[in-house]
Amino acid sequence: MNTTVIHSLSEFQEKNRRNNRFFLLIYKAGSEQSDIAHANIAEAASGLTDIEIYTADVNQVRDIHPEYSISSVPALLEFENRSFKNVIKGAHSPGFYQGLFENAVFIAKAEKEGKPVRRVTVYSTPTCSWCTTLKSYLRKNGIRYTDIDVSRNEEAAQEMVNRSGQQGVPQTLIDGEMVIGFDKSKINRLLEIEG
């Protein structure tokens, strides 16, 4: 899959009347961070199908970023059920973006098949051993999750603290309920994992 260049807000809205899940990268060509984000998203999107990824360069498109209150770029906007859901600011690795896109594809397929979709977000840091244990446990049980490195994302770190009142990691948001640490019994109950 390649990304699709968008030239205006009306074009963006028209293209997405038939899509439930999609992403939009708002960036500024020629800016180092934007160019990195653009290249890494293009790399992450190659080989993926079943998900639309759009790009809009603020040098050429001036009506999209005000619509979504985006004041800094690069910013990757995530849409679900045709509604703006989330913004991921800054440039991230191709692996980060690939995980994000693959999770969206997984959720879309599960919804089409009528399977319940769990919304699982893990707040972690690269040096946290319990974070690694938790993520391994989720993968072992076939649970898809979004991993947010709070050491690199101040906004997400603040969101995590606002939800739980705690700064320590790991923290896991499961269908709107926060789990502090690797509380295996609570995770099992919320995700209906046996054992």
Q: What is the CATH number of the domain that holds 187?
A: 3.40.30.10
Number of domains in the chain: 2
pLDDT of 181 reads 96
- Quote the pLDDT of residue 2: 67
Spatial separation of the C-alpha atoms in residues 22 and 163, rounded to whole Å:
26
Nearest to 88 by CA among 17, 159, 139: 159
Query: What pLDDT shows up at residue 142?
Result: 80
Distance CA 143, CA 172 (A): 12
pLDDT under 50: residue ranges of the chain: 1
**Closest to 130 measured CA to CA, from 182, 179, 184:** 182
Tokens of 79: 């849409």
User: What pLDDT does residue 17 have?
Assistant: 78
- pLDDT score recorded for residue 93: 86
pLDDT of residue 119: 84
Give me the domain span that covers residue 95. Answer: 4-110
The H or E element containing residue 180 is strand 177-180
Check whether residue 89 and residue 32 sit in a common domain. Answer: yes
Pair (160, 101) in one structural domain: no
- Which single residue is written with the structure tokens 């969101």? 159
pLDDT of residue 112: 74
